[in-house]
């Protein structure tokens, strides 16, 4: 059930403004991530399923995130006062994207001009930007140096295995979160599964 605080945002705010994406390629691939009204989102798939929607709660760009390491709790960044700590699952998701980009960059030297690898990397840059935008609503943890180990990847098959593990991990993290962050992370998990297909 949608929370009663879910807001109706009538204008189609460009999500790119929200994520402040730095990469031109990533900006292109961010596509139509838009804020839509609860009502229009609810009728979207039935009338024209491709209508893009993410649900954001009352402050316009705040999260209802999940607390890591246990039960799911509503985390509502406050306009006034101290913001809550960032959910560990969001931090880990960002670290995973960072690691995948590093792995792709390590392959770039021997695969210059590979359009599939370029497309896969652009997806991860877009994911990275979206996750950073979500995390910007939270107080950074005291130790922000959270990172996933960068795997040494020498072939597409190895990269495909890495993508599959990333997809599984993203789906698991999404399931522990709530609100729009969970939904976007579920989409990221689906994307990373498609990478397995194109790298095969």
Partner 1 sequence: MTGLSGDLLAAWQQALAAEQRAVFGYGLLGPRLADDSAVGLAHDCQSAHEQLRDAAAAAITGSGRQPAAPASDYPDLYPVNSASAAGRLAVRLEEDAASAWRYVYAVAAAAASDASAGSGSLRRTAQAALTASAVRATRWRLTIGVSPPVVAFPGI
49 near partner 1, judged by CB under 8 A? yes
Other C-beta atoms within 10 Å of 36: how many? Answer: 22
Residue carrying structure tokens 């939904």: 183
Closest CB 37 distance from partner 1, rounded Å: 13
**Residue placing its CB nearer to partner 1 in the complex, 159 or 177:** 177
User: Quick one: 72 or 88, whose CB is closer to partner 1?
Assistant: 72
Q: Taking CB under 8 A as the rule, does residue 78 contact partner 1?
A: no
- Least Cβ distance, residue 89 to partner 1 (angstroms): 12
Question: What residues from 4 to 43 belong to the interface with partner 1 (CB under 8 A)?
Answer: 6, 26, 29-33, 41-42
φ/ψ region of 129 (left if φ > 0, alpha if ψ in -120 to 50, else beta) reads alpha
3-state per-residue secondary structure call for 83-150: CCECCHHHHHHHHHHHHHHHHHHHHHCCCCCCHHHHHHHHHHHHHHHHHHHHHCCCECCCCCCCCCCC
Under the binding rule (CB under 8 A), the answer on residue 52 touching partner 1 is yes
Helix (H, G, I), strand (E, B) or coil at 51: coil
The residues that touch partner 1, with contacts defined as CB under 8 A, are 1-3, 6, 26, 29-33, 41-42, 44-46, 48-55, 64, 66, 71-74, 115-116, 118-120, 122-123, 126-127, 130, 167, 171, 174-175, 177-180, 182-184, 186-191, 193-195, 197-198
């Amino acid at each position: 059930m949608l929370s009663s605080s879910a807001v109706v945002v009538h204008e189609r705010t460009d999500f790119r403004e929200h994520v402040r994406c730095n990469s031109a390629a990533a900006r292109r691939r961010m596509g139509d991530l838009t804020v839509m009204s609860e009502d229009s989102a609810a009728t979207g798939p039935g009338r024209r399923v491709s209508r893009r929607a993410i649900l954001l709660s009352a402050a316009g760009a705040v999260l209802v995130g999940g607390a890591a390491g246990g039960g799911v709790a509503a985390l509502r960044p406050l306009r006034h006062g101290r913001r809550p700590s960032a959910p560990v699952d969001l931090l880990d998701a960002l670290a995973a994207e960072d690691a995948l980009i590093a792995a792709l960059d390590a392959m770039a030297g021997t695969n210059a001009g590979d359009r599939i690898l370029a497309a896969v990397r652009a997806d991860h840059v877009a994911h990275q930007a979206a996750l950073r935008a979500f995390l910007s609503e939270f107080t950074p943890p005291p130790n922000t140096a959270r990172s996933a180990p960068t795997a040494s990847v020498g072939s597409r098959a190895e990269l495909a295995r890495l993508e599959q593990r990333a997809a599984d991990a993203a789906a698991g993290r999404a399931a522990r979160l709530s609100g729009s962050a969970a939904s976007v992370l579920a989409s990221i998990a689906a994307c990373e599964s498609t990478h397995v297909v194109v790298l095969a």
